[in-house]
Amino acid sequence: MPVRAPSPHRLRRFVATAAALGSLFAGLTACDPEVPSLPPLAWQGPELSAGNTGDEVTQMQVQLRTRGFWLNDAYGTFGETTRHALVAFQKYFGLPRTGRLDERSRFILAAQSAKVEPRKPGAGRRVEVDIARQVLLISQDGVTVWVHDVSTGKSSTPTPRGSYKIQRQINGKRISALGQLWRPKYFTGGYALHGSPSVPNYPASHGCVRLTNASINMIWDEDLVPIGTPVVLF
């Protein structure tokens, strides 16, 4: 499907936010010495996909991270966590879930000047799972910490909606009748947030919330979702 050229209104909006983008990028590079000193992501440029390397990839990665989308690939390398971060971004903004930085995704990403916001904010640490968008968002006192790509239950085995808390967890592999769960964190009955080698861009699980193994490892290693953390699914 051809992508329409940005409207004059969007172009004006982009120009108006350019200074803010530059400030955010400068702030990140100042506090993280591993980030090369580069200008912000341009709203026009080549399509980027898994396997690409270079400054354009770094600019995209920094833009994703400063908007709240988690990845841990080396800067300048379009690896698997970068692809999942981009898919999560595309899901969040209702874009085609290609995992590639095409013209439309580039323009929308370049135009963002702040972190995405939780839809169910609250005090303390919280997890929200947006089943429609297929993303998981961790927040602290109403401010986004990280957004992750997820796959929830398919139509025949839907993920339960509602408000729960992390009740128990297993720091390792759990083999169940329905498959393997990596480092699961259970929020109700046998339903858990867990790692999986397969996180497609659509609902595919037996009801659990699948994250990539890299995402759940980071959540465990940084103790982001301890027992007792509220989990809201909608």
- Residue 61 CB partners (closer than 8 Å, separation 6+): 71, 73, 75, 76, 82, 85
CATH of the domain spanning 8-111, picked from 3.90.470.10, 1.20.140.10, 2.40.420.20, 1.10.101.10: 1.10.101.10
Residue 216: how many other CB atoms lie within 10 Å: 24
Confidence of residue 227 (pLDDT cuts 50, 70, 90): very high
- What are the residue ranges spanned by the domains of the chain? 8-111, 125-233
Residue range 169-176: mean pLDDT, rounded: 93
Residue 202 confidence (pLDDT): 97
Confidence of residue 67 (pLDDT cuts 50, 70, 90): very high
Q: Which CATH architecture has domain 125-233?
A: Beta Barrel (2.40)
Confidence of residue 205 (pLDDT cuts 50, 70, 90): very high
Residue 32 confidence (pLDDT): 53
Equal CATH topology for 8-111 and 125-233: no
Residue range 75-121, pLDDT digits in tens: 999 999 999 999 999 999 999 999 999 999 999 999 999 999 999 99
Residue range 130-166, pLDDT digits in tens: 999 999 999 999 999 999 999 999 999 999 999 999 9
Residue range 181-192, pLDDT digits in tens: 999 999 999 999
Residue 34 confidence (pLDDT): 67
Residue range 23-57, pLDDT digits in tens: 334 434 334 546 668 999 999 999 999 999 999 99
Torsion of CA 28, 92, 117, 14, to 10 degrees: 60
Single pTM value for the model: 0.85
